[in-house]
Amino acid sequence: MSESVFSERERIIAALSYPRSLMEQEVTRRQCPEHHRYNDRVEACRECLYILECQARSEQLAEASLQAASGSRLHTLLQLGMEYVSYQPECYDHRPEECACDHCGWLRRTRALLAGD
């Protein structure tokens, strides 16, 4: 199916799968007593170095949450996703407008999506 057939909302939800997959890779690299699902009642979760990734992956970027989110919330999540991707260690010293790596390509496509191009 052509990309132009999808609504902006569907394209944003699809675009959010990339930062979500990066977060999932980061979170699942280590052992977790909660099986990589954030639980605010567990002290280990509240003190974990990956709390933001785990919360976002488990709650904010979960498919059901995205489907229920407002358009403005999706835009906010996509902007946060852009920040997350751009701050990946692999992106240091990259020029997204010129670089051919996956991260930079996603950043270019996402900027165009947010700009309505």
Tens digit of pLDDT per residue, the chain (117 long)?
A: 445 556 999 999 999 999 999 888 888 877 887 777 788 888 888 888 888 788 777 778 888 889 999 999 999 999 999 998 988 877 777 777 888 889 899 999 999 998 886
Find the domain containing 106 and state its range: 3-115
Overall domain count for the chain: 1
| 108 phi, psi to nearest 5 deg | -65, -50
Residue with tokens 């280990």: 44
Q: Would you state the structure tokens that stand for residue 49, as one six-digit string? A: 């170095």
Q: Would you state the structure tokens that stand for residue 47, as one six-digit string? A: 């003190």
Predicted structure pTM score: 0.80
Contacts of 98 (CB under 8 A, 6+ apart): 104
CA distance 77 to 117: 19
Q: Would you state the structure tokens that stand for residue 54, as one six-digit string? A: 């785990």
